[in-house]
A and B are shown apart, each in its own frame.
Chain A
Amino acid sequence: MKDGLTAGTISITGHGGDEIEAYLARPLDPASPFGSVVVIHHMPGYDAATKEITRKFAANGYAALMPNLYCRDAPGASPDDAAAAARAKGGVPDERLVGDVAGAAAHLRALDGANGKVGVIGYCSGGRQSFLAACSLQLEAAVDCYGACIVNPPPAGMPLKVQPIIDLAKALSCPLLGLFGADDQYPAPAETAEMAKELSALGKTHEFHTYDGAGHAFFAVNRPSYRVDAANDGWEKIWDFYGRYLAS
């Protein structure tokens, strides 16, 4: 098996024609045309941990591209300072997110050796954004890792600028894999069950898995929320899912 990869920050065209930075990881010598994944970072931003996740996709045979959703808010700043600046502005507008994912998907489809199939995955706030992208763009597979505020509005008293987007589900363009923690409150199991019910009613292909003993951010290996059993099984689910929908 050839397991070489290359990775680094590049410039791509995002929402509104803006040039934005993005972290690209891809196999060096792919044996056959490869599928691709847009990685949506979590709220702490374009950080080392999510770059590591992006490289993990390349190590498993996919091209992966993570747009820096905060680069407009703090050009040239460190990821944590940029995240603070983006947060102070109320986060990433939904329209801009969709435009940036569209730009990333177009870049991936144009890569030499790409098979033209593009999936999306997002963590935390990126989980909601993964669903949003899959309901707004033509994609081949989407993964939502514990994204909240898809069905339920933000809790009262919290001035979140995001709103529920379950009404977009009828436009979901691809199969959806949902990976959640049973101990998570945002999204709580009741919210993801409601989401699954709506997708079933619409006849949308989806697979949801909720792990006992895991809460929010169980994939995050550098945080105390990490749950090795849930994360390992979750990665197996992701490889199986993308293998079915993104591989040639």
Chain B
Amino acid sequence: MCTYLTEKIEVTGSGKGSAGWFALSDATVYFDHPQHAQAEHTLNIDFLNPGKGPSARVAVELTAESARALARAIEATLEATPPGLI
């Protein structure tokens, strides 16, 4: 269904979109119909900078399984990073 369920967070970093790199200010995470992925619903993440317009967006659409694996990989990577680098 069209859930509109969205988690919004502020982020600091950069993303590479169709027009090259840009500074990120926000990210949204939601589970809904994908634009491109071959699944009825996917976990979608948009990395955004609304100040630069709606096209300042890096988008991914992942199956739920892939999204959970990504979340675990991110946590594992950060856990394994030597103290002092974070």
Contacts and interface: CB of A to CB of B under 8 A. Distances in A.
A23 interface: no
Which range contains the number of B residues in contact with the other chain?
20 to 34
A124 B30 CA distance: 17
Contacts of B46: 84, 88
A124 B54 contact: no
B39 A224 contact: yes
Interface in B1-55: 1-6, 8, 28, 30, 32-36, 38-40, 46, 48, 53-55
B33 A217 contact: yes
A44 B46 CA distance: 14
Interface stretch (A6-14, A158-166, A192-200, A231-239): A158-166
A205 interface: no
A121 B4 CA distance: 22
A148 interface: yes
A73 B35 contact: no
What's the dominant secondary structure at chain B's contact region? loop
B71 to A, nearest CB: 20
Contacts of A119: none
Interface residues of A, number: 36
Interface string A169-202: 0000000000000000110000000000000000
B73 interface: no
Given A158-B5, A161-B4, A224-B40, A43 B57 contact: no
A148 B54 contact: no
Contacts of B3: 154, 158, 160
B40 A148 contact: no
B78 interface: no
26 contacts: A42-B2, A42-B33, A47-B35, A73-B54, A74-B55, A77-B55, A80-B59, A81-B54, A81-B57, A84-B28, A84-B54, A87-B4, A88-B28, A90-B4, A91-B2, A124-B1, A125-B2, A154-B3, A160-B2, A160-B4, A160-B5, A216-B1, A216-B40, A223-B38, A224-B38, A224-B40
